[in-house]
Structure 1
Amino acid sequence: MEYRVVRAFTDKNDENRSYQVNDIYEGSKAPRRISELMNPEKNRYQKIYLEKIVNEETE
């Protein structure tokens, strides 16, 4: 599963790696981390940072 960055951020859980809009997220794919970045109720800034990339050929 791949995720696209929809809001620029610096990933404090990944050695302060910076992500820009439209980058492919290469950090932790742990369900808890993905949930934090996709759900505004689960992160301190209440923002959405990632979206799942849907491949129409396989989904």
Structure 2
Amino acid sequence: MALWLVIVVPVVGLYALLWSAVNRPLARRSSLMPRTYWLLGVLGTLLPTTALIIIYP
């Protein structure tokens, strides 16, 4: 379990850092309210993974 955490935490952290760095400039240019933009961004990221988990358990 500890090895799993050592591998997954940096990968997910790097992904989250890159994802937010890319989305910050896009959020400023968007006509959406910031809260709506970030909510849709998170849902758009998590929805495909959630759908695959539900379809192929």
Indicate the TM-score class for this superposition, using the shorter chain for normalisation.
under 0.3
Greater share of residues in strand:
1
Q: Normalised by the size of structure 1, how large is the TM-score? A: 0.24
Q: Normalised by the size of structure 2, how large is the TM-score? A: 0.25
Query: Who wins on radius of gyration, i.e. which is larger?
Result: 2
Greater share of residues in helix:
2
The structure whose RCO (Cα within 8 Å, separation 6+) is larger is: 1
